[in-house]
Amino acid sequence: MYFSLIGKSFFCATTSTVKPERSPLVHVESELAENVQLKKVLLSSVEEELLKATRENDDLNSLSAIRSRLCGNGHKSGHTPPKCSSRPCPFNDACGLKDKHPELKEKISALQKEIKRLQQEG
């Protein structure tokens, strides 16, 4: 745009394309909203995993229900480890005894701690 004042020309730039500055709080707010949503999804996932592990643990037998001596190797009754010809019991699904496989109980405990931590952060 040009203006003319008594024989002199001036150029004047217009600033119609200037965008208003975004508040830094808008960015922080959207980031916090994403974090909250992510924690909700994570909490839900951990709760589902805990429920699955608890059901699996409830389906297993305890040693008190067996009422007989078990081989410490294969977790089967009728013999002792020196006379055992089977391989060591690899996981609780093989023998069905929760007392012989503490890893499932440890997993449940760890999941409960994770849920508590997520709830405290939220």
Q: Which residues, 6 or more positions from 11, have their beta carbon under 8 angstroms from its beta carbon?
A: 1, 2
pLDDT, tens digit, 9 for 90 and up, residues 6-63: 555 555 555 556 566 677 777 788 888 888 899 999 999 999 999 999 998 888 777 6
Domain assignment of residue 75, yes or no:
yes
**Residue 62 falls within a domain, yes or no?**
yes
Select from 93, 88, 113 the least CA-distant residue to 103. Answer: 93
Any domain includes 37: no
Q: Looking at the domain assignment, is residue 65 inside a domain?
A: yes
- The per-residue pLDDT for range 66-122, each reduced to its tens digit, is 666 777 776 777 666 677 777 777 777 677 777 777 888 899 999 999 999 988 886
| 95 occurs within a structural domain | yes
Please check whether residue 26 lies inside any domain of the structure: no
Question: Nearest to residue 44, comparing CAs of 94, 111, 109?
Answer: 111
Exposed, middle or buried, 70 (CB in 10 Å: 0-12/13-18/19+)?
buried
Assess contact for 104 and 57: CB atoms under 8 A. Answer: yes
